[in-house]
Structure 1
């Protein structure tokens, strides 16, 4: 019985020892295999990375070689898009150029819109100046035509862009030299010549064009044609005894205006051409040349 018991314990010890060594061996094999396979995967990944890098270098060299060998528009680098159609660099270049042109047009449209928004379409102004007046055919003892000085004050309203319209009103004084034939007696000539001072209300209207202008239209060079309604306001006492009843109640004059704008300052040269006689009798069509200096806001 004792012998059997000893034998059983011996067998159990041998089995336990064998099991322990087997577990350690399996654990070592697992670690060895794991390390071996990890190292193998790393080497495989390194080789793939090396091949990828080499391929990229080869493709870059080929791209540079083709660019040096062929013009830009002759390259044949092709790719695919959604519908499997092929395209080359000329298509890309054309698309780029078209996109650039569209962008330029859009920018130009935006700039024009901004200029229109910032453009000063309406101008109000006041002015004053001097004028020289004569009558058509006015002579003194066969001498050349002469004129006399006067002045004018007025205001204007101008609206529009490069093509514009303008209306206003002005108070104008003019002094014209009259001649009346005498009776031929000695010492009587001086009594046949005299000046008549008149006061008029003018209502001018123009249509003009700006020959040159700034972006906002504040400064520029203008040329305008128009007409004005003229009515006399009064006549000073004169040697010819002419009064308001001797002048036409209203006449129409043609206008030519050359103007310069420098910011808020205006300089205008105006020619008034009378189409009708201002006197009820006799040749008395007025010719007036004026210059005005004004301010606009």
Structure 2
């Protein structure tokens, strides 16, 4: 009986131990299974995070590339964040180019206008009529006193200007020599003497009125001219070049009109000295009209 009881206790202990070991093995199997599942979940999570970070880097790189392209097109970040159609950018470029070209052309026109106002070169030709101081010409024909002139000038300044030039002038005058009143003597002698001169006129003037560009104007000027004789024609008085003063000075008064490049001038020459040696009342008075073209 005693042996049977020991045997029963031994069997009970063996069974208990077996159950404990079996439970332990089952728990270990479940633990290992759960661990593998957790590892797989962790792997999936890690892969998802890696994929998200890769996509984020790609988006960030693309965004930076787009910004670089945009800044290259715009040249600066003044309009950062704005997006424009290519046609808008092209139109803006064309408009800016046109504005710049118009600005340059406007400056060039202004410069040409200022240069035209401040500097001009011209040529002219005209006719003149001459008499001497104190001479009465009311009963004489004008055709016997006509001459002509050709010249050029340089004008500089604005509203107030200076002008200098040179001209070739032919001057025709009637001379009178009375007879001695005795029988058989030479009677009164009347003849025409043509003289040739080089004039160097210098004027200071003011534009009484002028257009915006200064192309058209009404001018008034005064000045003086140096007059040097070149010779005379054959004449009844036997005048020669040596009979005339080598040089004289005349005063000038000029009224002029500019219409674009064309000009019309009325000029009065007032001689301060006699032009014939040892002869009184031979100071010249010349009225001339000139038509010219200026650049």
- TM-score, normalised with respect to structure 1: 0.58
**Distance (whole Å) between structure 1 residues aligned to residue 229 and residue 199 of structure 2:** 9
Matched, 1:197 2:209: no
**Distance (whole Å) between structure 2 residues aligned to residue 127 and residue 158 of structure 1:** 13
Q: How does 1:98-137 map to 2 (within 5 A)?
A: 118-119=113-114, 120=116, 121-137=118-134
Aligned equivalent of 1:171: 168
> Structure 1: which 4+ aligned runs deviate by more than 4 Å?
114-117, 143-147, 185-191
- TM-score, normalised with respect to structure 2: 0.58
Query: What's the CA shift string for 1:96-150, capped at 9, x where partnerless?
Result: xxxxxxxxxxxxxxx9xx967732111000000000000012248xx65775100
Contact 2:170 2:196 in 1 (8 A): yes
Query: What's the CA shift string for 1:224-280, capped at 9, x where partnerless?
Result: 000000000011111001111110000000000000000000100000000000001
Matched, 1:295 2:293: yes
Which residues of structure 2 form unaligned runs of 5+? 1-105
Aligned equivalent of 2:283: 285
Give the alignment's Cα RMSD to 1 decimal.
Answer: 2.6
Contact 1:276 1:285 in 2 (8 A): yes
Contact 2:119 2:155 in 1 (8 A): yes
Which of 212, 237, 240 pairs up with 2:209? 212
| SS of alignment partner, residue 245 of structure 1 | helix
Aligned CA distance change for structure 1 residues 237 and 223 (closer, same or farther; 3 Å)? same
**Distance (whole Å) between structure 2 residues aligned to residue 146 and residue 161 of structure 1:** 42
Aligned CA distance change for structure 1 residues 263 and 188 (closer, same or farther; 3 Å)? farther
| SS of alignment partner, residue 249 of structure 1 | coil
Question: What is the number of equivalent residue pairs in this alignment?
Answer: 185
